[in-house]
């Protein structure tokens, strides 16, 4: 909650805001007002987020000030998309008429008809395609912020004034067409993002208790409610082939769920009692009953959409550079255009009209639309593509930085390994080791160990119990259970004392382990945790437990090296033997073991110092200090995890490690596209400024080149939406 009770935050929809210059004009109009605390203009979602003090300014005045710039703004929650559709259709009709009349005028002029016939036709072309351009240009000039509309308006009026009616009409028609095409192109990026919002159904089938009319016990009834009316703790009924409307926990039923919209997983995931499910995912087979754990505004999908939208307000390094460049570049070229038009005539005795025409050409070329739009459309396309593949990148800055990574540090447990220990070996000892204890079978040894560990909460005990259940073995009744912290446990079974634990426990009990230690040493060198089982003063056998390597860990590391990562390091708090065994399986060239959280931070800093930009991959919670110390912190398996979603620079919605090389590849592709766009936009300017300097460029050529460049950089940026498809 804000400290000031009169502080409000509103999101306004401005459906006609299609250019960076227009967004800047609105921001300039509002930023100087008393009471405006903060504002962001989000060009690609056509929104303005305003935080204001209601004791100093009200919403009506804010909307009025935006209207003064020539734009209509509406509260986002009350905006109706059909209004924008009508605006698009009207723009399409007027642009079409302008183009038809311009072509008709040019055709008649080509046949030699006089100006008395062609000029009225050109004028109609200007009046159908020009009012929107002239109006926006006038308002921009009034606000002392020259934009493309202002420049085009001046160029068209100037061309008409010197008798170039054909070029004036052609400029209007081409510019209006280019604006229309640019709008539709940007709409594609917007629609890709907004498609995420349509993943969740608007209604949910809810089972609720209904009071009995006769005064008896309440009965349960299934009712269909808007998702915004569903409460925490409500039970949802999700039938086969239906989308899950809200995040929750399965309390009844079994099914498989397609989680691709959230996590990018292509294979449906089993869901049973106790499993989390996410809004927007699709139930495939059985009926699920789900207890709601997040309201509609707080679901994982809602947070993803919100975070992707926020990314638009963050300026990446390339975007900041382009904005600074444009602020210097545009005034310089406008000044040059003025000098070109006036100096030869005023000081060199040259004819005024030809040099005025050349100045007008310079004026049109000067608008940096293609340059300004080149970076944001590429960044949003990259971030949206990543979100569709289960990777949440928290802004253009992180997208750019990920594309420049040189080194990556991985946490071991839960990242490169599954993080859940599993029983690997069950080895009964023979008489030579067990000191005349009866040799037990595999099942007998496992059942004995599980019976002792049944009351333990230790994670190693959990591994033994899971294996026992999997093999269908029944536990024995135990008494006198006792935990020995850091060593193991003891219990009495059928009047006999049994022990399970590490070497320290058995040495303290005075039980000789000499004949078993060679075998135990071999098992430990393989990265396994060894537990001994004994009864009385005898050894019965050993059970080994290990955290298994994820199947995709090794292919992921190979892919990262292919992507150009120079150094990969594994960090772990485990002992050196376990770390060495895991590193060997993964062919990791360097590992560091027995690390504290502070040690991991120091390791990341060392990598950054020696190799440059470094990423840290972890679970987003336990590895938080190291994630924060890295250039890029990558948290994995974060679907439904609030903390990781909020703190990580990049969040993998599932535990699929292959998403990391995908994200790095996408980042590097995005950087490449941005560089291509910037070079192309500046190159087109340079070419046509050169042509204008030698008198070879015309107004309509300048308009076509500039707007063509804008469209090409947009299309180039939109290619990123298909990355990985």
Order of all β-strands in the sheet with 36-42? 36-42, 47-53, 7-13, 74-75
Q: Strand 538-549 to strand 529-535: parallel, antiparallel, or no bridges (unpaired)?
A: antiparallel
Contact (CB, 8 A) for 129 and 179: no
Contact (CB, 8 A) for 407 and 565: yes
Contact (CB, 8 A) for 542 and 531: yes
Q: What is the C-alpha to C-alpha distance for residues 230 and 432, in angstroms, rounded to an integer?
A: 66
Tell me the H-state helices in 54-147.
59-68, 81-110, 115-129, 131-142
Which residues on neighbouring strands pair with residue 634, listed in sequence order?
617, 650
User: What Cα–Cα distance (Å) separates residue 300 from each residue in 272, 553, 640, 723?
Assistant: 20, 26, 6, 24
The residue assigned the tokens 């860990």 is 553
* CB neighbour list of residue 288: distance below 8 Å, 6 or more residues apart: 236, 237, 238, 244, 250, 252, 253, 254, 255, 271, 277
351-374 b/e (C-beta count within 10 Å ≥ 16 → b): eeeebbbbbbbbbbbbbbbbbbbb
User: What Cα–Cα distance (Å) separates residue 703 from each residue in 30, 247, 359, 364, 367?
Assistant: 31, 51, 14, 7, 10
User: What Cα–Cα distance (Å) separates residue 291 from each residue in 166, 220, 238, 627, 645?
Assistant: 69, 15, 11, 33, 22
Q: What is the C-alpha to C-alpha distance for residues 257 and 573, in angstroms, rounded to an integer?
A: 35
User: What Cα–Cα distance (Å) separates residue 104 from each residue in 120, 125, 144?
Assistant: 11, 9, 37
Contact (CB, 8 A) for 124 and 104: no
DSSP state of 199: S
Check if 411 is active-site.
yes
674-687 b/e (C-beta count within 10 Å ≥ 16 → b): bebbbebbbebbee
Closest CA to 46 of 193, 243, 165, 152: 193
Closest CA to 203 of 180, 173, 178, 237: 237
Contact (CB, 8 A) for 667 and 316: no
3-state class (DSSP) for residue 646: helix
Contact (CB, 8 A) for 636 and 447: no
Q: What is the largest CA-CA distance in the chain?
A: 120
* CB neighbour list of residue 233: distance below 8 Å, 6 or more residues apart: 291, 292
DSSP state of 415: I
Q: What is the C-alpha to C-alpha distance for residues 126 and 95, in angstroms, rounded to an integer?
A: 10
Q: What is the C-alpha to C-alpha distance for residues 166 and 160, in angstroms, rounded to an integer?
A: 8
Closest CA to 147 of 18, 290, 316: 18
3-state secondary structure 123-188: HHHHHHHCHHHHHHHHHHHHCCCCCHHHHHHHHHHHHHHCCCHHHHHHHHHHHHHHHHHHHHHHHH
Which residues on neighbouring strands pair with residue 8, listed in sequence order?
52
Catalytic, out of 147, 411, 655, 656? 411
Q: Which residues are catalytic?
A: 411
């Amino acid at each position: 909650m804000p400290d000031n009770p009169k502080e409000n935050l509103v999101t306004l929809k401005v459906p006609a805001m299609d250019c960076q210059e227009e967004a800047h004009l609105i921001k300039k109009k509002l930023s100087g007002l008393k009471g405006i605390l903060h504002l962001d203009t989000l060009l690609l979602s056509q929104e303005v987020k305003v935080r204001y003090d209601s004791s100093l300014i009200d919403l009506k005045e804010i909307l009025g000030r935006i209207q003064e710039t020539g734009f209509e703004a509406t509260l986002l929650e009350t905006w109706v998309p059909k209004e924008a559709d009508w605006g698009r259709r009207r723009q399409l009709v007027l642009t079409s008429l302008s183009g038809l009349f311009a072509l008709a005028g040019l055709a008649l002029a080509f046949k030699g008809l006089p100006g008395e016939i062609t000029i009225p036709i050109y004028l109609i072309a200007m009046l159908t395609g020009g009012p929107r351009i002239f109006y926006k240009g006038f308002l921009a000039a009034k606000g002392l912020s020259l934009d493309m509309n202002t420049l085009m308006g001046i160029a068209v009026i100037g061309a008409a004034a010197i008798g170039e009616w054909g070029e004036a009409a052609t400029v209007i028609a081409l510019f209006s067409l280019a604006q229309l095409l640019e709008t539709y192109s940007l709409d594609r990026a917007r629609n890709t993002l907004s498609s995420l919002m349509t993943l969740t159904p608007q209604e949910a089938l809810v089972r609720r208790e209904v009071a009995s009319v006769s005064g008896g016990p309440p009965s349960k009834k299934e009712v269909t409610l808007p998702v915004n009316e569903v409460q925490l703790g409500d039970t949802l009924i999700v039938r086969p082939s239906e989308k899950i409307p809200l995040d929750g926990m399965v309390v009844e039923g079994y099914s498989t769920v397609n989680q691709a919209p959230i996590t990018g997983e292509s294979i449906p995931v089993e869901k049973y009692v106790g499993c989390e499910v996410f809004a927007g995912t699709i139930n495939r087979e059985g009926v699920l009953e789900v207890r709601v754990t997040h309201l509609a505004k707080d679901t994982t999908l809602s947070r993803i959409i919100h975070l992707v939208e926020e990314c638009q307000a963050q300026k990446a390094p390339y975007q900041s550079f382009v904005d600074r460049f444009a602020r210097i570049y545009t005034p310089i070229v406008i000044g040059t255009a003025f000098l070109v038009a006036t100096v030869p005539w005023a000081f060199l005795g040259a004819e005024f009209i030809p040099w005025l025409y050349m100045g007008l050409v310079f004026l049109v070329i000067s608008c940096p639309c293609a340059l300004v739009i080149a970076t944001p459309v590429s960044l949003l396309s990259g971030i949206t593509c990543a979100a569709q593949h289960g990777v949440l990148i928290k802004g253009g800055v992180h997208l750019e930085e990920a594309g420049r990574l040189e080194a990556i540090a991985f946490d071991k447990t839960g990242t490169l390994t599954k993080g859940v220990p599993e029983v690997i070996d069950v080895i009964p000892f023979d008489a030579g080791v067990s000191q005349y204890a009866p040799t037990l079978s595999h099942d007998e040894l496992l059942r004995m160990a599980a019976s002792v560990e049944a009351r333990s909460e230790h994670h190693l005990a959990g591994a033994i119990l899971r294996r026992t259940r999997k093999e269908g073995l029944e536990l024995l009744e135990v008494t006198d259970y006792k935990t020995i912290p850091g060593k193991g446990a003891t219990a009495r079974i059928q009047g006999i004392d049994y022990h399970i634990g590490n070497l320290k426990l058995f040495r303290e009990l005075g039980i000789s382990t000499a004949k078993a230690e060679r075998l135990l040493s071999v098992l430990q060198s393989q990265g396994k945790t060894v537990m001994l089982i004994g009864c009385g003063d005898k050894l019965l056998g050993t059970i080994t437990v290990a955290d298994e390597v994820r199947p995709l860990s090794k292919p992921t590391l190979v892919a990262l090296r292919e992507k150009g990562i120079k150094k990969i390091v594994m960090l772990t708090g485990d002992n050196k033997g376990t770390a060495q065994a895991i590193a060997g399986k993964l062919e990791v060239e360097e590992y560091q073991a027995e690390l504290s959280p502070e040690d991991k931070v120091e390791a990341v800093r060392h990598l950054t110092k020696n190799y440059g930009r470094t990423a840290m991959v972890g679970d987003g919670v336990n590895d938080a200090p190291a994630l924060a110390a890295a250039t890029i912190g990558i948290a994995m398996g974060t679907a439904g995890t609030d903390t990781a979603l909020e703190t990580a620079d990049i969040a993998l919605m599932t535990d699929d490690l292959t998403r990391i090389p995908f994200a790095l590849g996408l980042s590097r592709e995005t950087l490449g596209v941005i560089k291509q766009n910037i070079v192309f936009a500046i190159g087109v300017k340079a070419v046509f400024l050169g042509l204008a300097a030698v008198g070879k460029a015309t107004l309509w050529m300048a308009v076509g080149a500039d707007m063509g460049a804008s469209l090409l950089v947009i299309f180039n940026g939109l290619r990123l939406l298909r990355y990985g498809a």
